[in-house]
Structure 1
Amino acid sequence: MAKLIIAFVGVLSLLLLIQDSRAYQFMVGGTGDWSLASTSYNQWAEQSLFNYEEGKDSVIQVTKDDYDNCNPASPIAMYSDGHSLVKFQRSGPHYFISGLIQNCKNNQKIVMVVMADRTHRSPPPYTSPAPDAGQGQDQDSPPPPPLAPSIQDYNPNAAAISIVMSFTYSIVAFVGSSLVF
């Protein structure tokens, strides 16, 4: 019986380690290339990898200020292989411009906003309804519960800590249950 419990706890610990992660590749420029377009790239960025002719153009990741001014002087990252795959490590806006300043000034630039995964949020805590005013209570009512954190309080690095802690607790639970039985 003890071996069955240990096996169950082991399997349960392994199941706790499973994390859901998804990655998508968006072809910037659609089936065409990263080249001058008649419309802004920002209009279809959500539907659409940087493809361009190697040696004739490049893609530069920049800050918002450098994006607004088409300034490639202080790049965050540079891509020039003609088939550039960008791996996003954080949520939020990411700014890209053409390596050719004139192309950038002709709107060959794009902002990609990466959204954090919010599919596993817990529901808000249950609060009991306030008593009717006609019940004649003379006591002061308790203060309301604190508000839930706002979107500005969200820290994307907390998700990485959560994964590490999940793994650590699972190992500790497995080792602890092995010692007990």
Structure 2
Amino acid sequence: MGAITVLRPLALGMATGMRSQLGLAALAVAMSRGGKKKGKKGRGFATMVQGQVLSSPLVRKSLVATAATELVADKLPSTPSRLNRGPLLARLALGGLAGGLLGWSDDRGFGRAVAGAALGAAGAGLGAFGGYHLRAALDQRTNLPDRYWAVAEDITAVGLAAFAVAVTDGSDTQQTELLPARLRDPEYADASWA
């Protein structure tokens, strides 16, 4: 597994940890915009979920609407902490689902889906805890109101989700091909730089 293959579900999970509905909404928008999976001929669960469910206009609009609603609701003082048991478990599950769907993209198999789900759930935990504690620390140490840090967190979460759905796993191969042949040689990589 290359670095991009690991970073994509991790980033999508982190976005989901910060804003729970964002990961699936980003996947649905990417599928509907004719991403690399649209129009692909194939069979199986992955093709059905990607081609028929996530790219469905009704599903896409619903997911985008819930993500937009959450961006607004996050700023309300009545919104419970994301670290409470229920919201945290939901974020972990949604991060795992988004990461699993991303890992299963292009019919790469069940193993990639499981790895993507694990990375997505781990990313959701990092995003939930990291986002919460960083935002709280910035709120305490600056004179800026929390709502500004909440908007900064929104932008970060959207950026992570956009990265996850825009970059392809093929980027690992392209980067490797740009390296000189001696750096791609496994024996050279193990040699000391002395």
TM above 0.5, one fold?
Answer: no
Bigger RCO (CA 8 Å, 6+ sep): 2
Larger radius of gyration between Structure 1 and Structure 2: 1
More strand by share: 1
